[in-house]
Structure 1
Amino acid sequence: MSGFQDIVGHKQIIEHLKNAEKLNKVSHAYIFSGEKGSGKKLLASRFAELLQCEGEGEKPCGKCRSCRQAESGNHPDIIRITHEKPNTISVDDIREQLVGDVQIKPYQSKYKIYIVPDAEKMNVQAQNALLKTIEEPPAYAVILFLTTNASSFLPTILSRCVVLNMKPVPDQEVRKYLMEHVEVPDYQADIAVAFAQGNIGKAVKLATSEYFNEIKNAALHILKNAPRMDISEISAAVKGVSEYKVDIQDYLDIFAVWYRDVLYFKATRDADGIIFRDQLASIQEQTNNCSYEGVEDILEALRKAKERLNANVNFDLTMELLFLTIKENITE
């Protein structure tokens, strides 16, 4: 489907992009910044379609030649930058596919648009190679950087781009989308919404994964039995997450939702307000065996574990520190 109507959330960004085109105030460089699954790729693709649309009325129209080409991925003036090295966009990638190519005028459209996925992977040399193009761009050039980490850009790049930060989509909108378009049961939608924390792509992935229940059950086994397990048992169990083809960060989100349930139930005794309602007995047991400070310490340990794993700290050490904290704060 073409157009912005199928995008959940991000209304302010969509209005900004539409107004830029309508008022002829399109910038030469944009940074779409947000975590994986937050909607950067879809927004950038729709913006590119909007700029190239040849139709009348509401744009993108989805019907003109340009929109059809964009939708099929065959528009000659919408170029997606690729890179062979998995973790690096090199200076050669940028020079060959963007800096050198941008001097050639558009083939059929008003704009020539470059979409750079994983833009945080551009090394310093690649970013420096872009500077002259961003400082003195041809009138028709528009560069769309997609990144999970805008702080990875050089200040000289950041200062010349319009930065659009993806904000979490409200839970009710994510839940409605899952129920109406993905057609998952309400309890599964609730769990996916809780884990996704406003990330629509993550919510859809979790709700539609054939491994979802296996992942959840494996995590719940550890959560319910952690106070009685030794560290080697726990580490072995968590390592098994690789079988489920899910990122360890997502797995740890399950833990975070569990302990938020424990904290919420301890404070309110409201069973209807927890996510894992079918695990009420275990949550009640842990609620009775921990303090408020203890649960908050565990949630902080989870946050630190995610940070350490992002920084490539040793997996076994990270998990050992996390579960020591859990064992210290949840008594049998």
Structure 2
Amino acid sequence: MAGFQDIIGQEQIKEHLCSALSTGKVSHAYIINGEKSSGKEFIARVFAMALQCEEEGTEPCQECHSCRQALSGNHPDIIWVTHEKPNSISVDDIREQVNGSVAIKPYSSPRKVYLINEAEKMTVQAQNALLKTLEEPPEYVVILLMVSNVNALLPTILSRCVVLNMKPVPDSLVKQYLCTQLQVPDYKAEVCAAFARGNVGKAKALATSEDFENIKTEALSLLKYIQDMELNEIITAVKKITEYKMKINDYLDICAIWYRDALLFKATSDINHLIFKEEIQALRRTAQRSSYEGIENIVNALDTAKKRLDSNVNFELVMELLMLTIQENS
């Protein structure tokens, strides 16, 4: 399936695009702005398919010849702009794949739809080349730009496009999707939804990632017993954490949610809103042994550690200091 009804959340974007389809007031260019894996590409695919659907409704029928071509990735009038360099979309890419063909009328559909994923990777020269098409587009052309950083685009590009900003999807909807569509167990779905922070694609990736499960297990086993560990045990634990260096933000997020749970339980004694409710005995011990100020110090230390790692401070040094701060405040 690939229709607007399959998009989780993003009601404002769905309403805007469906309204454009029903009234015929389709802009010549749209920017879909949202973080990586948030569903930008899926929304663009659905809209492109609906634009070309022979039924001309607000949902692609998925059965006509045009929809079947779109679903198979072989629609001649839905053009995905590609680029050989992984981190750059060059001026030649835009000239050859967009500017060079916009004057040619659609092959079999009312419109010609160009989709540019990761459009923030366009060089300034590439953006200026695209601008020439955006300034005087043929009436049948629609350009869809998908970006994870809208500020990377030139103001002149932004001024000629309708900008649609993705919103975080409520955790309840993300959890429901994981449980019903992917058959993820309830507890695991809740943890993944909390970590994804409204990003359905990230939640899906976490739910199916063996690495994430391993990281969670390692982090929790350390946090449960860190109060009683000797210095040499902490140093050994940090060496173990080094295995997850490439996923360190996930590791630190797990730690942050653990202490968020501890703080919540300390304040309310209510387990219903805890993410790690299955670890309630260990959380109760953490809450009892830590003061409110201590937990706040730990949360701040986790945030500081992230910033230091982003600034390329020595990994082991940052993690040792963090673990000692956690122990002192636990």
Flag whether TM exceeds 0.5 (same fold): yes
Counterpart in 2 of 1:288?
288
Aligned to 1:237: 240
Deviation of 1:305 after TM superposition, in Å, equals: 4.9
Deviation at 1:303?
4.2
The answer as to 2:311 corresponding to 1:313 is yes
> 8 Å contact 1:81–1:117 — kept in the other structure?
yes
Q: What amino acid does structure 2 have at the position aligned with 1:80?
A: W
Q: Deviation at 1:225? A: 4.6
SS in 2 for 1:272: coil
For the Cα contact (< 8 Å) 2:301–2:325, is it kept in 1?
no
Structure 1 Cα separation of the partners of residues 326 and 117 of structure 2? 42
**Residues of 2 paired with 1:98 and 1:303: CA distance?**
43
Q: Which amino acid aligns with 2:240?
A: A
Partner of 2:221: 221
Q: Distance in 2 between matches of 1:300 and 1:77?
A: 52
- Aligned partners of 1:287 and 1:143: how far apart in 2? 53
Would you say the 8 A contact 2:53–2:67 is kept in 1? yes
8 Å Cα contact 2:50/2:58 also seen in 1: no
Q: 1:162 to 1:57 in 2, by over 3 A?
A: closer
- Residue 157 of structure 1 corresponds to which residue in structure 2? 157
Structure 1 pair 297–76 and aligned structure 2 pair: CA distance change class (3 A): farther
Contact 2:21 2:57 in 1 (8 A): no
2:321 to 307, 310, 324: 324
SS of the counterpart of 2:164? strand
Name the SS for the 1:143 alignment partner.
strand
Query: What SS does structure 2 have at the residue aligned with 1:69?
Result: helix
Instruction: Tell me the distance in 1 between the aligned counterparts of 2:210 and 2:119.
Output: 31
State how far apart, in whole Å, the 2-side matches of 1:12 and 1:208 are. Answer: 29
- Structure 2 unmatched ranges of 5 or more: none
Structure 2 match to 1:52? 52
The residue identity in structure 2 corresponding to 1:24 is G
Report the Cα offset of residue 77 of structure 1: 0.8
Structure 2 letter corresponding to 1:316: N
**Cα pair 2:90 2:126 within 8 Å, conserved:** yes
What is the one-letter code of the residue matched to 1:27?
A: S
1:63 paired to 2:63: yes
Q: Counterparts of 1:2-41 in structure 2 under 5 Å?
A: 2-41=2-41
Q: Retained in 1: the 8 A contact 2:77–2:113?
A: yes
CA distance in 1, matches of 2:113, 2:275: 43
Aligned-partner residue type, residue 154 of structure 1 = L
Distance (whole Å) between structure 2 residues aligned to residue 57 and residue 137 of structure 1: 24
Q: Structure 2 length as normaliser, TM-score?
A: 0.89
Instruction: Give deviations 1:140-186, integer Å, cap 9, x for gaps.
Output: 11111111111111111112111111111111111211121111211
Question: CA 1:55–1:130 in 2, change beyond 3 Å: closer, same or farther?
Answer: same
Counterpart contact for 1:302–1:322, Cα < 8 Å: no
Residue identity in the other structure for 1:206: L
Q: Please tell me whether Structure 1 or Structure 2 has the larger radius of gyration of its CA atoms.
A: 2
Pair 1:135 & 2:138 matched: no
State the one-letter code of the partner of 1:327. Answer: L
Deviation digits for residues 106-159 of structure 1 (CA, Å, limit 9, x no counterpart)? 111111111111111112221122111111111111111111111111111112
Q: Is 1:90 matched up with 2:123?
A: no
Question: Contact 2:238 / 2:319 at 8 angstroms: preserved in 1?
Answer: no
Q: 1:159 to 1:223 in 2, by over 3 A?
A: farther
2:142 match: secondary structure: strand
**Cα 1:5–1:304 shift into 2, 3 Å:** farther
Aligned-pair CA distance for 1:238: 2.6
Counterpart amino acid of residue 19 in structure 2: N
Unpaired runs of 5+ in structure 1?
none
Match of 1:261 in 2: 261
Report the count of equivalent residues. Answer: 326
SS at match of 1:271: coil
Q: Per-residue deviation at 1:34?
A: 1.0
Counterpart of 2:123? 123
2:276 alignment counterpart? 276
Matching residue's letter, 1:328: T
The one-letter code matched in structure 1 to 2:253 is D
* 1:213-262 per-position Cα deviation (integer Å, ceiling 9, x unaligned): 322112223433555456754543233126xxx74433333222212112
Amino acid at match of 2:241: V
Deviation at 1:58, TM superposition (A): 5.0
